[in-house]
Amino acid sequence: MLFFAQIFWFLRKRQDFLEFSGQFWNPGFLISSFCGKLTSVKTAVFDNSQSALPAAGGSLEREGFWRWSFMVVTVRSLGLNGIAGYAVSAECFLSGGLPAFDIVGLPDAAVREARERVRAAVKNCGAKFPVSRITVNLAPAGQKKAGTVYDLPIFVGLLAAGRELPPPAQQAAFIGELSLTGALRGVTGVLPMALAARDAGVKELYVPAENAAEATLAGGLTVYGVPDVGALVRHLRGEERLSPASAWVPEAEEAAGPDLRDVMGQENARRALEIAAAGGHNLLLIGSPGAGKSMLAKRLPSILPDMSREEALEVSGIWSVAGLADPQHPLLTRRPFRSPHHTASAAALTGGGPLLRPGEISLAHNGVLFLDELPEFHRDVLEAMRQPLEDGTVTVARSGGTLHLPARFQLVCAMNPCRCGWRGHPSGRCTCSDREVAKYVEKISGPLLDRIDLHVSVPAVEYASMRRKETPESSADVKCRVDAARAVQTARFAGTGVTCNAHMTAPMIGQFCRLDHAGDALMKSAFERMGLTARSHDRILRVARTIADLDGAADIRPEHLAEAIQFRNTDILKG
């Protein structure tokens, strides 16, 4: 008796005592709890196939569905590795022994805390929490699991293993976070997980109602938006079916944002902006404060070509992982424009952190990355962009692993010509010496400047330009020419994976950027006089090819090359 009294006192300390005490004096349960064996219950692994379910309208008990005690139930789910989704299986195992709840498979703290969220949700939906030793394995066990997306599959698995629900079909997957009341909360990264589910053969995807529109973007799936676990339980029992979510369709485009017609004067800078948009070239704007550098940069997206469906899905997936997706408008239809502050760290720009999240350059993928006050950025931040500018990807290495994130962005930089900002201004307010100017410019490394195609001086706006009555050309008019030039490039690079002139490889430059005798002589003169590098030479040819495309010319003429060389003049950095 003393032995059993001690055991009883020990169980009172456990959180599961209230559920356990009702069966404590059951001899069979007592033996199973302390010996780990059940003489009256057989353990089996459940086959999650539709053939195992009872006939429509039939009772589980009447059909002999629980003839065996199915203690292991596998529920399909999804996880995130960087910005890519992958398949996960939540294996829920009920075994004899003292009541306990363990989650294995390299879970992080948020996943381990799912035990309490699931326990509360089960009780609040009126179901019975299994009184047993519970082990949940998240497979593949060698992949770290993070976040709260596994709450819902664990919930479904426990109720199925505890005979409260028929086990889910093999072609169904579940993701979502549970509140203590049983309501489902939205999670991040639903779009890449939905794409992974579709590729893995999943047919039905259960997500929080907040994420249903985003999940439908993947296509090929029947998506159910679940408001709470009570509705899900009734649906899985066949009592009250949930309605599938309708495929999300973009609404009619609203009026565009900033327009080029707002820019007064600055014809040379406007021309450079058009060339940059037509060929996907990087751009550096240099001028005094108030000249309109930021104004020009913010209007670049308004003249860029529209994104394709594939580009929009890729960008929307990145934004979803970063938690920036709008549940009401989950698909980005306009190219992203990112403008990080000059105090941003290298990790904020390239990505990283404990969960290896995308940084600013990945958020600007297929769009524009604008760095205002370029020399004010830390040197390591600027140098971190050199690889992405060449390869279109960024490699993030942390203790948690290594990821390759997409980073095919268009770089636009703005800077003052000197520390005080007024060098070359008509007012003559500059107080910087030549040495101070050189020191200021030296903050930007040569290799980074070499990767910027167009170097453009933005002079102070004249009063006459501000008072001019003629309305400047609108973004819509410029975009028509840009679209025409991009259409030529799309046909030129069909089947190569290259989308614009700025991304041409060396063999492509040799094939599509041939110069005649006069052009070759001009290129040779500029190469020797300006001290160009091989990279600069190739970038000038890419820009010249874009200018020829805007002009509707099949070949690069000397005037096209001369304009490209003019926009490569590094003397403007010297004041």
Domain count, the chain: 3
Give the Cα separation of 457 and 269 in Å (integer).
7
Statement to judge: residues 197 and 295 lie in one domain: no
As a residue count, the chain comes to 575
Average pLDDT estimate for 405-410: 95
Task: Note whether residue 387 is domain-resident.
Answer: yes
Give the Cα separation of 187 and 148 in Å (integer).
7
Confidence of residue 7 (pLDDT cuts 50, 70, 90): low
Q: Give the model's pLDDT for residue 332.
A: 94
Q: Give the model's pLDDT for residue 399.
A: 64
Statement to judge: residues 450 and 371 lie in one domain: yes
Q: Give the model's pLDDT for residue 37.
A: 39
Statement to judge: residues 264 and 410 lie in one domain: yes
Give the Cα separation of 348 and 358 in Å (integer).
8
Task: Note whether residue 508 is domain-resident.
Answer: no
Which tokens hold the place of 498? 């290259």
Confidence of residue 298 (pLDDT cuts 50, 70, 90): very high
- Radius of gyration from C-alpha coordinates of the chain: 31
Is the distance from CB of 311 to CB of 490 less than 8 angstroms? Answer: no
Give the Cα separation of 214 and 189 in Å (integer).
9
Task: Note whether residue 375 is domain-resident.
Answer: yes
Note the Cα 131 to chain centre separation in Å: 41
Helix-then-strand count for the chain, H and E: 24, 19
Q: Give the model's pLDDT for residue 528.
A: 92
Q: To which residue do tokens 């379910």 refer?
A: 53
Q: Quick check: 308 pLDDT over 90?
A: yes
Average pLDDT estimate for 273-291: 95
Instruction: Read off φ and ψ for residue 17, nearest 5 degrees.
Output: -60, -40
Q: Closest Cα to residue 377, out of 335, 354, 352, 349?
A: 349
Q: Give the model's pLDDT for residue 109.
A: 94
Statement to judge: residues 7 and 147 lie in one domain: no
Task: Note whether residue 186 is domain-resident.
Answer: yes
Q: What is the CATH number of the domain that holds 387?
A: 3.40.50.300
Indicate the range of 17-21, 86-90, 325-329, 552-556 predicted with least confidence.
17-21
Classify the C-alpha dihedral 416-418-421-426 as positive or negative.
negative
Q: Quick check: 573 pLDDT over 80?
A: no
Average pLDDT estimate for 473-477: 93
Q: How many CB atoms lie within 10 A of CB 424?
A: 16
Q: How many CB atoms lie within 10 A of CB 532?
A: 19
Say what the alpha-carbon torsion angle 216, 222, 225, 229 is, to the nearest 10 degrees: -150
Residue 201 φ/ψ region, left for φ over 0, alpha for ψ in the -120 to 50 degree band, beta for the rest = left
Q: Quick check: 13 pLDDT over 50?
A: no
Statement to judge: residues 293 and 196 lie in one domain: no
Which tokens hold the place of 132? 């047993």
Give the Cα separation of 193 and 16 in Å (integer).
34
Average pLDDT estimate for 233-258: 86
Q: Closest Cα to residue 80, out of 192, 229, 198, 231?
A: 192
Task: Note whether residue 567 is domain-resident.
Answer: no
Provide long-range contacts, Cβ within 8 A and 24+ apart, for 13-20: 14/98, 14/99, 16/99, 16/100, 16/131, 19/99, 19/129, 19/131, 20/99, 20/131
Decide: helix, strand or coil at residue 476. helix
Q: Give the model's pLDDT for residue 413.
A: 97
Query: What mean pLDDT, rounded, does the chain reach?
Result: 86
Q: Which three-class secondary structure string do you get for 243-282?
A: CECCCCCCCCCCCCCCCHHHCCCCHHHHHHHHHHHHHCCC
Candidate ranges 44-48, 426-430, 450-454; pick with highest mean pLDDT: 450-454
Q: Give the model's pLDDT for residue 68.
A: 39
Q: What is the CATH number of the domain that holds 138?
A: 3.30.230.10
Statement to judge: residues 316 and 418 lie in one domain: yes
Residue 432 φ/ψ region, left for φ over 0, alpha for ψ in the -120 to 50 degree band, beta for the rest = beta
Statement to judge: residues 11 and 119 lie in one domain: no
Give the Cα separation of 377 and 382 in Å (integer).
7
pLDDT in tens, 337-373: 999 999 999 989 998 776 678 999 999 999 999 999 9
Task: Note whether residue 196 is domain-resident.
Answer: yes
Statement to judge: residues 231 and 265 lie in one domain: no
Average pLDDT estimate for 407-426: 91
Q: Give the model's pLDDT for residue 55.
A: 40
Give the Cα separation of 457 and 442 in Å (integer).
18
Q: Closest Cα to residue 29, out of 120, 130, 128?
A: 130
Task: Note whether residue 389 is domain-resident.
Answer: yes
Q: What percent of the chain has pLDDT over 90?
A: 69
Give the Cα separation of 90 and 356 in Å (integer).
23
Task: Note whether residue 293 is domain-resident.
Answer: yes
Statement to judge: residues 187 and 295 lie in one domain: no
Give the Cα separation of 45 and 510 in Å (integer).
63
Q: What percent of the chain has pLDDT over 70?
A: 84
Statement to judge: residues 403 and 338 lie in one domain: yes
Q: Quick check: 58 pLDDT over 50?
A: no
Statement to judge: residues 176 and 313 lie in one domain: no
Q: Quick check: 559 pLDDT over 80?
A: yes
Q: Give the model's pLDDT for residue 53.
A: 41
Q: Give the model's pLDDT for residue 464.
A: 74
pLDDT in tens, 151-197: 999 999 999 999 999 999 999 999 999 999 999 999 999 999 999 99
Domain that holds residue 292: 260-462+470-492
Confidence of residue 3 (pLDDT cuts 50, 70, 90): low
Written as one letter, the residue type at 572 is: I
Give the Cα separation of 317 and 190 in Å (integer).
8
Statement to judge: residues 289 and 144 lie in one domain: no
Q: To which residue do tokens 């009883």 refer?
A: 8
Is the distance from CB of 310 to CB of 316 less than 8 angstroms? Answer: no
> Which secondary structure element, helix H or strand E, spans residue 523, and what is its range?
helix 517-530
Give the Cα separation of 201 and 171 in Å (integer).
7
Q: Give the model's pLDDT for residue 34.
A: 43
What would the DSSP string read from start to end of 185-229? E--S-HHHHHHHHHHTT--EEEEEGGGHHHHGGG-SSEEEEESBH
